[in-house]
Structure 1
Amino acid sequence: MLYPDTWYSRTLRDAQTRPALSGVDEADVIIVGGGFAGLTTALELTHAGKRVIVLEAERVGFGASGRNGGIVSAAFSGGDEAIRARVGPEAARALHRLSIEGVERLRATIRDLKIEDAVTGEGLLSLRRFDRADDLKRHAADFARDFGYEMTYLDRDALSKHLVSARYFHALNDPGSFHIHPLNTLRAIAAELERLGGRIFEASAATGHNLSGPVKRISTETGQAEAPAVVFATGGYTGPLAPKLKRAILPIATYLTMSEAAPDLLASAIRTRASMYDDRRAGDYYRLVEGGRRLLWGGRITTRAASPGGIVRQLRREMVGAFPQLEGLKIELAWSGLMGYARHLMPQVGQMAPGVWHITAFGGHGLNTTAIAGKVLAEAMLGESDRIRLFAPFGLDWAGGPLGLVAAQLTYWKLQAQDRWRER
């Protein structure tokens, strides 16, 4: 099988495989990692005339890029207050402008490349599970004032037109967000990169390197790539080859389920083609796909592989808790993937050494963040802008190793308890 068994791999349009690297090959830039971050950076550099080689250990989009929730929205996982506290209000606003730009860049890429069936729905409802709305209204007003970005507050009556559920009290409707089939989208980007002259080698895990001289060398089992610059874009699958990067990443597993086809039953609960994300700090996200025929439901994180059956039961319990009318809905498929998280919960984009760059830690941010981070990194490598400095305060902080994973799991459980207490 080309990919892990997911709804995305089952509905894959392009099943092309690519050869492994063989012998010695030269380029201007080597990119290690064939996910959204790596391929977006590669495409930007190729547009600028650079010769690019992408090395992917498995297949394009094999990791989290090809099996995530597919939400594209203007936000960072770090949260508004934490970002402002770290960088100040002016830089925080600049980062949010980047996030909004990332949404439009990915939308434009899908439009320009005419990627069929990439967009599966428009809009995002951020749902509130307890009765307080002043901060939601303030957030919408701030975004309208600072960025000209319009979101609409929905009270319970207005929300009932979208969702038939007693669980939610308030919501923000963000019509500028959308959701996609990430694997089909990414593979179309890969095809465009190759059309422009970029080269992608699959089944080509990086096994060694020499990064000290003016010419960097990355070795695989069957070949060697050489270039003046290297970009590591390995996310939650970062291995020991880049120890400075590995020590700064927490590989966190997240989980998704896909329902049977039941359009009439689903229409009794969900009357929108927007995606949903609840306000829990350890929250769930879900959306209808296939024109309303199936429900994709995601949530939960663990720092080690968990029993799929146990996770499915937990996610199903959340689904039925929100929509009791879906009690009879069957779950046909479940899967997981590793996302890369930093301790500061922000992307890590920068330069580790002369000619050696990194772009990683996109867990929880939405796919717009990889789109704009790849653009910003390419601008820095080409000397076109210094926008990459906005990510400088979010460096390669040590994630804590095994103890960091333990701390992350304990923090998640703490957030779950706080969510339950807040809702009571």
Structure 2
Amino acid sequence: MAYPDTYYVRTAADRRERPGLAGREEADVAIVGGGLAGLTTALELARGGQRVALLEAERVGFGASGRNGGLVSPAFAGGDAAIRARVGPEDARALHRLSIEGVERLRATIRDLGIESAGLMPGLLSLRRFDRADDLRAHVAELAEVYGYEMTYLDRAALAEHVTSPRYFHAIHDPNAFHIHPLNTLRAIAAEIERLGGRIYEGAPATAASLSGAVKRVETAGGRIEAPRVVFATGGYTGGLVLRLRRAVLPIATYMMATEAAPDLIASAIRTRACMYDDRRAGDYYRLVEGGRRLLWGGRITTRAADPAGIARELRHEMLTAYPQLADLRTELSWSGLMGYARHLMPQVGEMAPGVWHITAFGGHGLNTTAIAGKVLAEAILGESDRIRLFAPFGLDWAGGPAGLVAAQLTYWKLQAQDWWRERGSAAAT
């Protein structure tokens, strides 16, 4: 029941371990999965007066929610055009507003619970590695006009105040986005759930479920929870307990590395405290931590678990392509995690059967989307709103099984090739 060795584990503020489930327990809602989706749902339900009981197979934040890049910004990985094509312009705008609300909701949770260990740091730079800016300016103008969401376009001269890199031509600065220590945030949310009367069991993988009756049962090796409603929030670690859910989610691995502490060397390349990602379709994301002493760098995806050390060498190559002056910066740690992806590249949030709910497939969307989805799901269970209908067009579509994983990997390689071609054209022109 140990976390993988990540930067977040090494710097965790709360190291408590919770016992597993023993015997029979009753609840209003049973939740399977202790990532941000399950925890946010549990928090909002507990605030609404529900008795919640949450099962986590390992420990709170063990999966992708506790070992990701920590970036919190609006929008969905599915892309604006694809979302509009499926749901129409009005609901597409409503979904984007939800993603903006998710940023503010997570910020408010950190503020209201006083989670100082989250280390919230404002700002995000979206960096472009080829020389074109008209669409960036148009994007900034559209978000301001349609959503009242203010960002700033940066040309190469303005960008040079933040980073020194031969690879970046333009950027968008989002002052509303932020980055956090995700594991500390999750464990603080878990503590608040317990303060409100919720129960969290660790090292308690669900081994069987009876979901057809008025009272559902979820069993573990040590006991069972009985409740009229069950929520499955298992993401990239979805097993075979609910076959329909497993068939709808592709587990995709992503990778991160942490550098040694070298503030002066890092400052020769990066001076901003904003988090960053390049806007390639197969891009990287990174940020400074510990007041600029270390650099966390993430990227790459594979459909099978790869050696984190080998992937770290690839991430390091990407880092040095952007910042060759960091050649002497050593990598101290690398790790991976599984994200859940749906075939339509959108989150899956809804009721798959009476009293049986799902909240999954947040790979590529960010922590804000997971947070607001948990709120929306709780509203549906509590009968407070029907906002969950916005996710109805993005159902539990079959993800394709092994063929789906192959297709996902081929798509990623295709995107990498397209990125390379665009950058090659810019390099030739300069």
TM-score of the pair, normalised by structure 1: 0.99
| Cα RMSD, aligned residues only | 0.7
Q: Please list the CA deviations of residues 237-289 of structure 1 after superposition, one character each: whole Å capped at 9, or x if unmatched.
A: 00000111110001000000000000000000001000111011000000000
Residues 131 and 169, structure 1, Cα contact 8 Å, conserved in 2: yes
Q: Is the 8 A contact 1:259 1:333 kept in 2?
A: yes
* 1:166 and 2:163 correspond: no
Opposite residue 5 of structure 1, the aligned amino acid is D
Aligned to 1:307: 307
1:391 maps to: 391
Give the aligned partner of residue 210 of structure 2: 210
For residues 2 and 28 of structure 1, the distance between their equivalents in structure 2, rounded to whole angstroms, comes to: 29
Q: Distance in 2 between matches of 1:276 and 1:291?
A: 15
- Deviation by residue 1:126-174 (Cα, 9 ceiling, x = unmatched): 1111011111111111110111100100000000000100101111000
Match of 1:28 in 2: 28
- The one-letter code matched in structure 1 to 2:83 is I
Q: Displacement, 1:121?
A: 2.0
Letter in 2 for 1:408: A
- Listed as ranges, the matches of 1:304-343 within 5 Å are 304-343=304-343
Aligned-partner Cα distance in 2 for 1:251–1:308: 16
Which secondary structure state, in structure 2, belongs to the residue aligned with residue 117 of structure 1?
A: helix
Query: 1-side partners of 2:155 and 2:210: how far apart?
Result: 58
What does residue range 353-364 of structure 1 map to in structure 2 within 5 Å? 353-364=353-364
Q: Deviation above 4 Å: which 4+ runs of structure 1? A: none
Give the aligned partner of residue 151 of structure 1: 151
Q: Find the aligned partners of 2:40 and 2:312 in 1 and give their Cα distance.
A: 32
Taking the aligned partners of 1:24 and 1:287, their CA distance within structure 2 comes to 45
**Is the Cα–Cα contact under 8 Å of residues 32 and 206 in structure 1 kept in the other structure?**
yes
What is aligned with 2:38? Answer: 38
Distance 2:306 2:146 in 1: 42
Deviation at 1:55, TM superposition (A): 0.4
Tell me if structure 1 keeps the 8 A contact 2:120–2:180.
yes
Q: Structure 1, unaligned stretches of length 5 or more?
A: none
Match of 1:256? 256
Is the Cα contact below 8 Å between 1:257 and 1:334 reproduced in 2? yes
CA apart distance, 1:120: 4.2
State the distance in 2 between where 1:346 and 1:362 align: 7
Q: Contact 1:120 / 1:290 at 8 angstroms: preserved in 2? A: no
TM-score by length of 2: 0.98
Count of residues in correspondence between the two structures = 424
Identical aligned residues as a percent:
78
What is aligned with 2:87? 87
| Cα distance in 2 for residues equivalent to 1:370 and 1:284 | 20
How far apart are 1:36 and its partner, in Å? Answer: 0.2
The residue identity in structure 1 corresponding to 2:337 is G
Q: Which residue of 1 aligns with 2:427?
A: none
Q: Please state whether the residue corresponding to 1:406 is helix, strand or coil.
A: helix
Distance between the aligned counterparts of 1:36 and 1:312, measured in 2?
26
Q: Which residue does 1:419 correspond to in 2?
A: 419
Q: Is the 8 A contact 2:13 2:117 kept in 1?
A: no
Q: Counterparts in 2 of 1:196-275, with a 5 A limit?
A: 196-275=196-275
CA contact (8 A) 2:258 2:334 kept: yes
Determine the C-alpha separation between the residues in 2 that align with 1:117 and 1:211. 38
**Consecutive unaligned residues in structure 2, runs of 5 or more:** 425-430
**How far apart in 1 are the matches of 2:97 and 2:354?**
28
Cα distance, 1:306 vs structure 2: 1.1
